Amino acid sequence: MGGCRWDELGRRGLLVAVLVGGPAWATPASEGAEASGSAASVDALSGGVVDGVEPVDSGPPEGSEPLESTPSLTEGALAQALPPRIQPGDAGDAVRPTPTTSAAPTVEPAEAAAAAKKKKKKRKPGAQQEDSIGEDSTALDDTPDDEIQTVRVFGRVYAQASADEREKFARTLSINSARVGVATSLPNLEAEVSADLADSTILKDAFVRLSDDNKRFRLYGGQFKSPFLQRRLEGAWSLPIQGRGLVEDYLGDVHELGGRRLGFMGEVRLKGLWDLRISAGAFQGSRDELGARTKEDLAGRITVRPLKKMLTLGFSTYVAEALDRARRHAVAADAELRFGGFNVKGEAVTGRLPVGPFTAQLLLASWTLPVTTEWALQPVVGAEGLQLRGNVEGRGHSLLGGLNLLLGSRFRGQFQVERALRPGDEAPGLEYSLQLATRF
């Protein structure tokens, strides 16, 4: 190290010598000869007197201003070329400190924003939030605007195997759902179209939804779910059971109370009043026994959340042929309690059908138990009751239990056992079913 240091000093010294010698080489030769001649003729012991004559003062001409010294480029170059002065006692191989730079690269604001946008929140296993506002109109209400894609393509597939005691446990394989859809979300406009390729009625949702800037007022138009029965309004992916149960099948599929219909609906949401939400609309009537279209139906629903997202209370009603005979109508009250992974829902319904008055009750409880960061187990129990009172009397009931295996929020395997007495059955029957479901 010492030898290298002295070699470097030697090279710098040579550079200094070249720079210093530059002005001397630029002096004319005649001046050099004259200076050498006069220097030779002057005796060092004569005191500057040669042959009795004193030398003439070689100062500047009279009246001239003295020249100010200006720093030359050579001196600047010397200052940069000279090595630092080493004091006695300093180490010969000392290295001059270099300015430190931050190891972390500078990130532009635009790049940071893009990186933050790409970074998505990882959902916990069992988080079953819907992607479709047609399945659940509240699905994207609390999602930040920057996390909602302008155009979304979604879908789901349900494959089921079942064995029913009423059919002597004959095994049945089926595709319960093959849903595909596309949706768009703009500042004051949303729209969605979806179809189920495994259903006889392929078109499911086709509607637009207008809203103000704060999303307090909304207007729906097209085909969508009418605001009646909490069990029907909940998204299929959010439900922890296969299907929607005995009561909803009887009221919705058989007697056509609620469900998806063409119509218009208005909605008001006031977050400051326990997240109050009021929905009301007019919908196309169903067909009668002769196939003729009946007059319009009316439906409405009110919900509040007195304990934020822990407790939800709701009240809904549906009146078929509201401007005519109104032979079919119903009212329902529901409640939902969420506490951590535990969830319990209850609903009571009463009304009138063409066969007479009826009442119904629904209860469903589930508990999501994370096993790893991706997997979770979800035990489920449920019970339903249906009573017909009038010219036609009858009772129906259902008791079920099951276990779901969840992988994130995109896959689940469901095993379910149900013992039910449905309208028209002579005796209750046992049914085993296994369903694999995925969504994208």
Q: If you ran DSSP here, which 8-state letter would residue 22 be given?
A: H
Q: Which residues contact 42 (CB under 8 A, 6 or more apart)?
A: 48, 50
Share of the chain above pLDDT 90, in %: 57
Q: pLDDT tens digits, residue range 151-180?
A: 999 999 999 999 999 899 999 999 999 999
Q: pLDDT tens digits, residue range 256-279?
A: 999 999 999 999 999 999 999 999
Q: Which residues contact 265 (CB under 8 A, 6 or more apart)?
A: 219, 220, 224, 226, 227, 279, 280, 281, 282
Residue 200 pLDDT greater than 70, yes or no:
yes
Strands (E) in 61-216, as ranges, are: 151-164, 170-186, 189-196, 203-211
Contact present, 139 and 132 (Cβ < 8 Å): yes
Sign (positive/negative) of CA torsion 46, 52, 58, 59?
A: positive
45 pLDDT band, cuts 50/70/90, is very low
Contact present, 264 and 282 (Cβ < 8 Å): yes
Q: What are phi and psi of 232, to 5 degrees?
A: -75, -35
End-to-end CA distance of the chain: 66
Q: How many CB atoms lie within 10 A of CB 54?
A: 9
Residue 54 pLDDT greater than 60, yes or no:
no
Residue 91 pLDDT greater than 50, yes or no:
no
- Nearest alpha-carbon partner for 309 in 339, 269, 267, 341: 339
- Nearest alpha-carbon partner for 380 in 407, 412, 422, 417: 417
Contact present, 79 and 13 (Cβ < 8 Å): no
Q: pLDDT tens digits, residue range 277-321?
A: 999 999 999 988 888 888 999 999 999 999 988 999 999 999 999
CA dist., res. 72 & res. 409, Å (int) = 76
pLDDT value of position 42: 43
Q: pLDDT tens digits, residue range 175-197?
A: 999 999 999 999 999 999 999 99
Strands (E) in 240-371, as ranges, are: 260-270, 276-283, 297-304, 311-319, 329-339, 342-353, 356-367, 369-370
Angstrom CA distances, 115 to 15, 75, 119, 122, 386, stand at: 52, 52, 6, 15, 54
Taking CA 384 as the corner, what is the angle to CA 381 and CA 386, rounded to the nearest 5 degrees?
175
DSSP character string of 358-408 = EEEEEEEEEE-EE-SSSEEEEEEEEEEEEEE-SSS-EEEEEEEEEEEEEET
Q: What are phi and psi of 427, to 5 degrees?
A: -150, 155
Q: Which residues contact 58 (CB under 8 A, 6 or more apart)?
A: none
Q: Which residues of 237-257 are buried (b: 16+ CB within 10 A; e: fewer)?
A: bebbbbbbbbbbbbbbeebbb
**What is the model's pTM?**
0.72
What mean pLDDT do residues 107-113 have? 53
CA dist., res. 31 & res. 50, Å (int) = 21
pLDDT value of position 34: 44
Q: Which residue has the tokens 């506490």?
A: 339
125 pLDDT band, cuts 50/70/90, is low
Q: Which residue has the tokens 């790049």?
A: 111
